[in-house]
Structure 1
Amino acid sequence: MVPSILFEIMLIGLLGIGSQWLAWRYRMPAIVVMSVAGLLVGPVFGIMDPEEDFGNLYGPIITVAVAIILFEASLNLSFKELRGLGKPIFRITTFGAFIAWILGSLTAHYIAGLSWAVAFVIGGLFIVTGPTVILPLLRQSKLKPRAAKILKWEGIIVDPIGALLAVFAFEIISFFTAQNPDGSDLVMFFAASIFAAILGWACGRGIGWMFETGNIPEYLKSPGVFIVVILCFTVADEITHETGLLAVTAMGITLANMGISSVADMRHFKENMSMLLISAIFIMLTASLQVEILLEIFQPRIIGYVILMMFIVRPLSIFISTIGTDLSLNEKILTGWIAPRGIVALTVSSYFASILADAGYAGASIITTLTFGLVFFTVVAHGFSIGWLAKKLHLSMEGRPGTIIIGSNDFTVELAKSLMKVKAPVIIVDSSWERLRKTREGGIPFYHGEMLSEQTEYHLDTTPYEYLIAATEFHSYNALVCTTFMPEYGRTNVYKSSPYLMQDNSTDDIVDKIGGRVLFKEDISMDFLSDQVNNGYVFRQTTLTEQYDYNRYLSERDEDTVLLYVLKPSGKMYYYSEELKMTPEAEDIVVSLAPPNKKNKKIQEKLETQRNSNQ
């Protein structure tokens, strides 16, 4: 066992973030790695048992963390995303959820052997997927926008619905099995649910109003929001269990659709906090499981229940509920397969396991085992299959990582053409139709609009792009764009053209110190690159070999050659900058802007002579 609670907290954080890093490094599902790590330090080796060690604090810690995660996820649910998807999402989160509840309850009764009462409670709970498992999968799989939005909206909306459905089923069962039925509890449940939704809306509007009117300072905005989230959740949950999830979801959606810039500014901080909480909770929950539960998972009735839930109940609920919508067959297949259960299912099921067992309902003793079996098998199966299935169904963004180029000019147009030749996605964004003229004439994908505009966020699909290059003539604007998108793309994937001013050997104020890496070299400005293109310089690809290695390439290249980017056989790309630490190897392709060879130079001179003679 761990020597102290402090050491255990440290270990939970280390294992959680370490699992996330391993998943990123080796392209594995993060939730699978976290689950395995928790099982190893918990029931397998007995290093820690958070539920026992934290005592009475264990439940509230998990509950508050779930509330914050669900709020952060719902803060991304802007109704503008629903253009063209409103009908299928509504169908899936209503009719689809109802069908899944009925079919799941029947399966729990006839296959898992639960009593009707327990089956309907657990059937309502198991319709949830949730942001704790869906968002890591979407981050890993790079689905096309439509499929990703459907899974995201379903996971976040159905999370509180599933918990409330379980409570509703329990209240109904309690009402009909009571010796003296009293409908006041049912009325109280519905009233509490309505109150929770109104409370969430009111908290969201209240925080939004304070932000808009300047009644809260910048440094208190993030802490203030978190405290109000906990307040909103606790008040609703104290009245009726699980209505707190509905309250924080309503609060998040309300804030997301008020169009407040301060909320967008805080989003990345909240995403980081959510990532930390998800990592910690998965470790805590899996580490708290008992060996007996792990062994019971492999009982035939539990295995049979999980198989039917994955291969029959989920696909049927999606296919039936989306009849008459514009979802393609491939989108229905993917959505019908991907439904991992996560933290909400585990935490709420443990609450009902004790209540139903105390009430003497048959089958309540295996609720925890059944829940973990469904969570573990769906997490593993869907975590490892989502990327492969998405590619087979043509619903993933395949190929080389793409680049968004901000600013249309002579150099960026030719750079985009070179990227298109190596089949790397590229798009040029500019707010001027005149500057986009050469881009359009070159057949290059483009977006006419302001990159920093809110409308661009909803109209420009950024899924295929991992790199961003700000290359306008305004250096301060380039720095602002890079600073804005750095949290989304990562510090190493955001570049700006050099702010170096050739005429006086100085930099443009302080913009060289902020926002993104300087593209290529600090003494190579965008004006210089455009001039080189106009002077006949060409984009050249050089494939390195064992004989013709990188050192030889550098020694033999023309001194005026500008190194642009490197293509790896794996498809990975690296743009040159003075911070680049990677050394190209054999089979890598080095792309450069090089002087024309002698033949090209003669043609250029001939054209220049003809041009002068015609004047």
Structure 2
Amino acid sequence: MLSGYLLSDYILLLTGLLLACGVLVSKFSTRLGVPSLILFIAIGMLMGSGGLNILPLGNVEYVQAIGILALVIILFEGGIQTNWSVIRPVAGTALSLATITVLLTSLLLAGFAYVLLDLTMTEAFLLGALVGSTDAAAVFATLKGKNIKPNLSASMEGEAGANDPMAVFLTLAAIELLTSPDPSYALMAGSFLWQMTGGLLIGLVLGKAGSYAVNKINMDAGGLYPIFAISFAFIIYSSAQFALASGFLAVYVAALVIGNSELTYRHSITTFHEGFAWMAQIVMFIVLGALATPEDIFSWGVIWTGVLLSFFIMFIARPAAVFLSTIGSGFSLNDRLFLSWAGLRGAVPIILATFPIVAGVDNDSIIFNTVFFIVLTSALIQGSTIAPLSNKLKVTAPDTKDEHSSWELVNIGKTDAKLVEYKASKRSAIIGHHVNSLNIPEESAVNALVRDGELLNTDANIEIQPGDTLFILVATRKKHDLKQMLDGQKEKKRFS
């Protein structure tokens, strides 16, 4: 009995220490000029069997499952935070980057790896497939807090959220070619088409169902709404996978739908998922770091080949693929240069690199170690230079903090009413109007107005200004009328 308590205490202490280290690392990574994921991986390598042996991870399949779980959480949070009105104009470019760019990058790197390494052409193609895609966790984390032009950041996020099907398809196709005596090319092509279309359709349908359920089911505790929302992420991923479609794409699309719908307890849901995604990212990169063996990753053979392959991706393969796939996109030369450099590698290539190990592919350890080193190099060099490069290329945007209004619905217990928290933007229809003269629907009332942190008297003749937050109690059946009155025709519509 005592040993059981000691084991649980050890696990809890280790978990607490790792999460605390992750949070502190995130805080200081910006000051150090090093992407946080590099430091997370370093902590994992220190804790793993190749370091202090505090976190020995011998079962690759468990690590793979943890990585996939974390990616689902990260993709879901990224989709919820993405504004559809921003990503819609560049959806075609994002799709081109997620497919054509990944394919061309993989093929170019495969050719170079075949010449450089002692691998067969199919094994070289597998290596190229593993690192051909950008990583959602790395891209989302890197873009946070950086004021990149909306069309560029939306393209990067869309690519990172949608390119996993192509990466998974190319990886599994290469493994099929290596392990199957009679592979079917027609079946593999059909599988990819279904992964993309099936993932898109499942994400749209279940995303609509998820947003409807969150809004329609009244819960006694506000803290249940974020849990209910994340449950849909897991259900959507599994449903798509069982249907042989892309679970990652389905989750990202569903999150876009949910995040761009009118959502009860939106602030609670987004805040919860932001913290949950950070925790998933910390755990994922620490676990992946613990899986690696430092003496293998940093052996001379891996270092010199990894450096050459990394530089080939950064300066030849990725730029060539981006420039070809963005022809006619309207992006400037500087935009395309930035897109080329911002193609960060991260968790996805490492997780995919566990697939050949599980499948028993020849040279699996060489492939895994090389992929791991490429990810480290990409994150360290590209991740730490994105901010200065964005300024150099002049792809930053003016402050858009007040560009859109926010609309937050909060249920009032079991009553048929909701409390609306509405933050007015410069484009809101009510700017310049007086609070006591607003043409709000019947069965509604303005309860409070907050300006610069100060609660103002709503009975006074106050003119509404950008940045003001109004708290309005409204009957549930009148909330759409209220929103139409507040926004008028000046706000871009979201998913409904």
Q: TM-score range by the shorter chain?
A: 0.7 to 0.9
Superimposed CA distance per residue, residues 311-358 of structure 1 (whole angstroms, 9 cap, x where no aligned partner): 10011111111122210111111111111211111111112233152x
* 2:156 alignment partner AA: L
Mapping 1:213-228, distance limit 5 Å: 213-214=216-217, 218-228=222-232
Amino acid at match of 1:108: A
- Where does 1:382-421 land on structure 2 (aligned, <5 Å)? 382-396=382-396
Q: Contact (CA 8 Å) 1:204, 1:254: kept in 2 or not? A: yes
Structure 1's 24 and 478: CA in aligned 2 closer, same or farther, altered over 3 A? farther
Of 340-349 and 227-236, more deviation after overlay is shown by: 227-236
Aligned to 2:233: 229
Residue of structure 2 equivalent to 1:283 = 286
What's 2:251 paired with? 248
Q: Which residue in 1 is equivalent to 2:453?
A: 496
CA deviation after TM superposition for structure 1 residue 24, in Å:
4.5
Q: How does 1:167-246 map to 2 (within 5 A)?
A: 167-171=172-176, 177-178=181-182, 195-214=198-217, 218-237=222-241, 240=244, 243-246=246-249
- Bigger relative contact order, structure 1 or 2 (CA pairs below 8 A, ≥6 apart): 2
Answer with 338-347 or 81-90: which moved more: 81-90
2:168 equivalent among 159, 163, 169:
163
Task: Give 1:63's aligned residue.
Answer: 68
Instruction: State which structure, 1 or 2, has the greater radius of gyration over its C-alpha atoms.
Output: 1
Alignment partner of 1:478: what SS?
strand
Q: Aligned pairs, how many?
A: 424
Distance of 1:230 and 1:253 partners within structure 2: 15
**One-letter code of the match for 1:79?**
W
SS in 1 for 2:298: helix
Deviations 1:248-299 (A, max 9, x none): 2332233244444555651221111101111121122113311232223644
Q: 2:333 — aligned with what?
A: 329
Partner of 2:133: 128
Deviation at 1:28, TM superposition (A): 4.3
How do residues 416-435 of structure 1 correspond to structure 2 at under 5 angstroms? 431=429
Q: Is this contact kept in 2: 1:475–1:499, CA < 8 A?
A: no
The question of whether the paired residues in 1 share the 8 Å contact of 2:165 and 2:195 is answered with: no
Query: Structure 2 residue aligned with 1:301, among 292, 302, 305?
Result: 305
Aligned to 1:369: 369
1:30 pairs with one of 36, 40, 58: 36
Partner Cα separation in structure 2 for residue 405 and residue 79 of structure 1 = 14
Q: TM-score, normalised by structure 1?
A: 0.60
The answer to whether the 8 A contact 1:130-1:155 is kept is yes
What secondary structure is seen at the aligned counterpart in 2 of 1:4? helix
Query: Within 5 A, what are the aligned runs for 1:437-448?
Result: none
Gap regions ≥5 residues in structure 1: 407-426, 437-449, 451-473, 480-494, 504-513, 516-615
Structure 2: how far apart are the matches of 1:477 and 1:348? Answer: 51
Partner of 1:105: 110
Partner residue of 1:476?
448
Secondary structure of 1:109's aligned partner: helix
**One-letter code of the match for 1:478?**
V
Q: 2:173·2:188 contact (CA, 8 Å) conserved in 1?
A: no
Deviation at 1:89, TM superposition (A): 2.5
Paired with 2:25 and 2:391, the residues of 1 have a C-alpha distance of 25
SS at 2:450's partner residue?
Answer: helix
What residue identity is the alignment partner of 2:371?
T
| 2:13 maps to 1:13 | no
**Cα distance, 1:431 vs structure 2:** 4.7
Task: Give the distance between the partners of 2:212 and 2:110, measured in 1 at CA.
Answer: 44
1:565-584 alignment, distance < 5 Å: none
Query: Normalising to structure 2: TM-score of the pair?
Result: 0.73
CA distance in 2, matches of 1:255, 1:431: 25
Distance 1:498 1:209, change over 3 A: closer
Residues 1:42 and 2:48 are matched in the alignment: yes
Decide whether the 8 Å contact of 2:49 with 2:57 is kept in 1: no
Equivalent-residue separation in structure 1 for 2:192 and 2:403 (angstroms):
53
- Report the 3-state secondary structure (helix = DSSP H, G, I; strand = E; otherwise coil) of the residue aligned with 1:141: coil
- Identical-residue share of aligned pairs (%): 19
**Counterpart selection for 2:318 from 303, 310, 314:** 314
Change (3 A) 1:253 1:116: farther
- On the 8 A contact 1:255/1:263 being kept in 2, the answer is no
Q: Deviations over 1:55-109 (max 9, x none)?
A: 8744433321221212222233443213543443333223322322321222232
Structure 2: segments with no counterpart, 5+ residues: 1-6, 405-424, 439-445, 461-469, 472-496
Q: 2:349 aligns with which of 341, 345, 348?
A: 345
Q: What residue in structure 1 maps to residue 152 of structure 2?
A: 147
Asked if the contact 1:112–1:305 (Cα under 8 Å) also holds between the matched residues in 2, the reply is: no
